[in-house]
Amino acid sequence: MGAVYFYHLTHRPLEAALPQLLERARGAGWRVAVRGRDRKRLEWLDEKLWLGPEEGFPAHGLAGGDHDADQPILLTTEETAPNGAACVMSIDGAEVDPEEVAALDRVCILFDGNDEMALIQARGQWKVLTGAGCSAQYWSEESGRWEKKAER
């Protein structure tokens, strides 16, 4: 059974924090699906990731291409990723259900700590997922680096 990790972004925006988390997931040998709710937002994120530093560039693709199944990291709005992802990173409040957490190695929920609606959404997801018996951890970067603050 997988686990869900909540990442509370307070110092860095998504486009700065995500590459580090993607690198960790890829280091674990996982293919990753970055799930968002809005195609235009994923297109924006795709551009930001392409412009990232050369030494930390996360090889990825935007869903809808000819080679989706070959992508180590796939940006998508769909619930199922054709790249065989073992890790899903949910952004912008994209839904994740308990059965999905159980079927994957890891689910990461990234949320903007400066957005009240994102905080409410993340709290709701925590309650639903832990209430369904999912193992969960809450990580905060309030000190400037990731620190585990809670675990269930």
Q: Would you state the pLDDT for residue 51?
A: 82
pLDDT band for position 144 (50/70/90)?
confident
Residue 43 in this model has a pLDDT that exceeds 80: yes
For the chain, the distance separating the N- and C-terminal CA atoms, rounded to the nearest angstrom, is 14
User: What gap in Å lies between CA 79 and CA 77, rounded to an integer?
Assistant: 7
What are the boundaries of each domain within the chain?
3-151
User: What gap in Å lies between CA 33 and CA 89, rounded to an integer?
Assistant: 6
State the CB neighbour count (10 A cutoff) for residue 49: 20
Q: Would you state the pLDDT for residue 31?
A: 98
Q: Would you state the pLDDT for residue 90?
A: 98
Q: Which of 135 and 56 is assigned the larger pLDDT?
A: 135
Residue 134 in this model has a pLDDT that exceeds 70: yes
Q: Could you tell me the sign of the dihedral formed by the alpha carbons of 46, 20, 2, 135, in that order?
A: negative
Q: Would you state the pLDDT for residue 151?
A: 96
Residue 54 in this model has a pLDDT that exceeds 70: no
pLDDT band for position 50 (50/70/90)?
confident
Domain 3-151 has CATH 3.40.190.10: no
User: What gap in Å lies between CA 108 and CA 101, rounded to an integer?
Assistant: 10
Chain Cα centroid distance, residue 98: 15
